[in-house]
Amino acid sequence: MVISVIGVGYLGAVHAAAMAELGHEVIGLDIDADRIAALQAGRAPFHEPGFEEILRRGLRSGRLRFTTDYAELEPAEVHFLGLGTPQRKDGFGADLSHLESAIDSLREVLAARGGAPTLVVGKSTVPAGTARRLSDQVEQVEGVQLLWNPEFLREGFAVQDTLEPDRLVYGLREPEGPQAEAVIAMLDAVYAALLAAGVPRLVMGYETAELVKASANAFLATKISFINAIAEMCEAVGGDVADVARAIGMDDRIGAKFLRAGVGFGGGCLPKDIRAFIASAEEHGVGEALGFLREVDLINERRRARTVELAGEMLGGVEGRRITVLGAAFKPDSDDVRDSPALDVADRLMQAGARVTVTDPQALANAAQRVPGLTVEAELAAALRGAELTLLLTEWREYRDLDPTWAAELVAAPHMLDGRTVLEPRRWAAAGWELRALGRSAPAQATTPTQTATSTPEPTAHPALGPVGPAVAPTPMPGRTLTSA
Ligand code: UDX
């Protein structure tokens, strides 16, 4: 089939290359000429395992190309919309302007099809009600139908998630009837290989499909904040959150995934999607129903504040101190720094007067662009050299596997704050390190002077563990959120 993908950011670029991989003829479009030039030259504009390979294979086969010109999309029978829906600058809601302007530009292309059956397929994450509103616009053109087909891909696994998804969700204006069958058959033809491989396909109304995506991300965010709330309890009463997670995760009904406590979630999706979900519920008069998502957001925010506070406890104040942060990306195997907890904590430490060096295997260019004045160091050994405190904030394999004896020889003082609960406490202690971890109580025996002075705070003098309130848990500022598409 001839397919277009409009908006070739993370989601769209991977989708375009994956559709070419399935044997379709694909044209990717974006208004960003630099991005289009890079993709057309076979260069991935972001770090994503396996993506460059399928991009180049698609380009070589002649089935995949990229353009900035809407007129070139006329032959396409199916148009996928892969545009970003970032958080609005003035609040929690989703900014749909990229999607709306793409639809405006597309309408001329659709009209030129002269009534031939054409499918427009929304993949972006949007508030419930968006698909119905947009369908009123595009379905005015004869022969055109709109379907909403949310995307669940994870960064770092984007190619696999696109070619071997857990499920395909089709949202239709009317999920039943002869018109629905024609629309479903057309998208089935696009995904024929996936359906033949047994991927389940679920058909439902527009609003339900939109809610599936919002609910999936809200659930994942809630699961992370749940375990991070338990981490706060563990710190207060002297428990170990990693053991709690392991034990409760063995219950099938709970499941072990997304129970890794630490500095919390970030990225281009979960934070902005839960806020858009809150805003949407409020608009529909059911704000109370999703009010708990505010708490999810606050718990997440509080982990960052707590990390900075713990760094201060470990050093007896961060001002003027040499701190190394391992990780800038919001998660491993990605160079994405949008709303990255690691980068945010590094920035906060810098604002508090610390001399911070950040290292990351892939994300340093993006990090330096995002936080002007940040000191970055690509070499792990060089980054560790002279550090008075090291924070592990993104669990790249090389940091999880770090040899504590080797690292101890480089740093100025062996103090490690494990913000992802991934380091083995005994192994690090045996190599002479003071290891503190979010969600794990401080070691019983204090081994350094700074620890003796600060590791046993009175419960009341422990602001991050106090009751939720604006003084310790400020509502995240929409303006601070990093939301480029
Ligand atoms: C997410 C959803 O998983 C995906 O389905 C959706 O399509 C887009 O949003 P992604 O943003 O790639 O994907 O990241 P994800 O793997 O969900 O991780 C999000 C954040 O949560 C990361 O910062 C990660 O470090 C953090 N996280 C994840 C935890 O803190 N603990 C966990 O147990 C899991």
Whose C-alpha lies nearest to ligand 1, atom 2? 154
Domain with CATH 3.40.50.720 in the chain: 2-199, 300-437
Strands annotated E in 137-253: 144-148, 168-172, 201-205
- List all residues 6 or more positions away from 38 whose beta carbon is below 8 Å from its beta carbon: 44, 45
CATH topology of domain 214-296: N-(1-d-carboxylethyl)-l-norvaline Dehydrogenase; domain 2 (1.10.1040)
If you search the block for the tokens 């990780």, which residue do you land on? 327
Please give the sequence-ordered ranges of beta strands (E in DSSP) within 235-385, or none if there are none.
Answer: 322-326, 355-359, 375-376
Does the structure show a pLDDT above 60 at 470? no
Instruction: Give the three-class secondary structure for 399.
Output: helix
In the numeric block, which tokens belong to residue 485? 């598409």
Mean pLDDT of the chain: 92
What is d(CA 391, CA 346) in angstroms, rounded to the nearest whole number? 9
Write out the two tokens for 341: 């907890």
- Residue 484: is its pLDDT beyond 90? no
Q: How far is the CA of 136 from the centre of ligand 1 (A)?
A: 33
Q: In 3D, which of 129, 144, 12 has the Cα closest to residue 78? A: 144
Q: Residue 441's pLDDT is what?
A: 82
Q: Contact 281/287 with Cβ under 8 angstroms?
A: yes
CA distance 169 to 172: 10
Average pLDDT over residues 229-241: 96
Q: Are 94 and 85 in contact (CB under 8 A)?
A: yes
Q: Which atom of ligand 1 is nearest to the CA of 151?
A: 7
With tokens 């793409």, the residue in question is 102
CA of 266 to the centre of ligand 1 (A): 7
**What's the token pair of residue 317?**
């104040």
- Which residue is closest in CA terms to ligand 1's atom 31? 260
Q: What is the pTM of this model?
A: 0.90
Over 60: is that where the pLDDT of 304 sits? yes
> Is residue 28 within 6 Å of ligand 1 at its C-beta?
no
Looking at residue 440, the DSSP 8-state letter turns out to be B
Residue 234 is among the residues annotated as catalytic for this protein: no
Q: Say if ligand 1 is within 6 A of residue 224 CB.
A: yes
Taking only the tens place, the pLDDT of each residue in 256-302 is 999 999 999 999 999 999 999 999 999 999 999 999 999 999 999 99
Give the integer Cα–Cα distance in Å for 438 and 365.
Answer: 28
Ligand 1 pocket, residue 258 CB under 6 Å:
yes
**Helix (H, G, I), strand (E, B), or coil: what is residue 434?**
strand
β-bridge partners, 79? 4, 120
- Judge whether residue 234 has pLDDT over 70: yes
Residue 146 in 3-state DSSP? Answer: strand
Q: CA 279, CA 86: separation in Å to the nearest integer? A: 13
Q: How far apart are CA 375 and CA 56, in angstroms?
A: 34
CATH number assigned to the domain with residue range 2-199, chosen from the 4 options 3.40.50.880, 1.10.3720.10, 3.40.50.300, 3.40.50.720: 3.40.50.720
Tokens in use for 439?
């969600």
Q: What is the DSSP letter of 431?
A: T
Report the alpha-carbon distance of residue 485 to residue 251 in Å, rounded.
37
The kind and range of the H/E element at 391 are strand 389-392
Most informative mutation of 157, 220, 344 for ligand 1 (most atoms within 8 A of CB): 220
Strand-by-strand arrangement of the 375-376 sheet: 375-376, 355-359, 322-326, 389-392, 415-418, 434-437
Does ligand 1 lie within 6 Å of residue 217's CB atom?
A: yes
pLDDT at residue 473 is higher than 80 = no
**What would the mean pLDDT of 35-64 be, rounded to a whole number?**
97
In angstroms, rounded to a whole number, what is the distance separating the alpha carbons of residues 347 and 311?
Answer: 13
What superfamily in CATH does domain 300-437 come from? Answer: NAD(P)-binding Rossmann-like Domain (3.40.50.720)
The tens digit of pLDDT for each residue in 174-229 reads: 999 988 999 999 999 999 999 999 999 999 999 999 999 999 999 999 999 999 99
> What does the pLDDT read at residue 280?
97
Pocket test for ligand 1, best of 230, 331, 399 (most atoms within 8 A of CB): 331
Tokens in use for 344? 């945010």
User: 420 is written with which tokens?
Assistant: 């992802």
pLDDT reported for residue 442 = 74
Give the model's pLDDT for residue 157. 96
**Confidence class for position 459, pLDDT limits 50, 70, 90:** very low
Please, is 319 exposed, middle or buried when counting C-beta atoms within 10 Å of its C-beta (0-12, 13-18, 19+)?
A: exposed
Cα of 154 to ligand 1 centre, how many Å? 7
DSSP string computed for 40-64 = HTT--SS--TTHHHHHHHHHHHTSE
Q: Give distance in angstroms: CA of 156 to centre of ligand 1.
A: 10
Within 10 angstroms of residue 57's Cβ, the number of other Cβ atoms is: 15
Q: Is residue 460 scored above 70 in pLDDT?
A: no
Catalytic residue among 269, 342, 383, 442: 269
Kindly report, as residue ranges, where domains of CATH 1.10.1040.10 are found in the chain: 214-296
**Tokens encoding 476:** 């995240």
**Residue 476: is its pLDDT beyond 90?**
no
Quick check: 334 and 363 in contact, CB under 8 A?
A: yes
Write the burial class of residue 385 (CB in 10 Å: 0-12 exposed, 13-18 middle, 19+ buried): middle
The helix (H) or strand (E) run that includes residue 27 is strand 25-29
Task: Tell me what percent of the residues of the chain surpass a pLDDT of 70.
Answer: 91
Read off the pLDDT of residues 316-327 as tens digits, 9 standing for 90 and up: 999 999 999 999
Burial class (CB in 10 A: 0-12, 13-18, 19+), 118: buried
- Of 436, 477, 463, which is closest to residue 263 (Cα–Cα)? 436
Query: Which pLDDT band, with edges at 50, 70 and 90, does 36 fall under?
Result: very high
- Beta-carbon contacts of residue 191 (< 8 Å; ≥ 6 apart): 22, 168, 199, 201
Predicted pLDDT at 444 = 53
Q: How many CB atoms lie within 10 A of CB 462?
A: 16
* E strands in 247-367: 322-326, 355-359
pLDDT score of 482 more than 90:
no
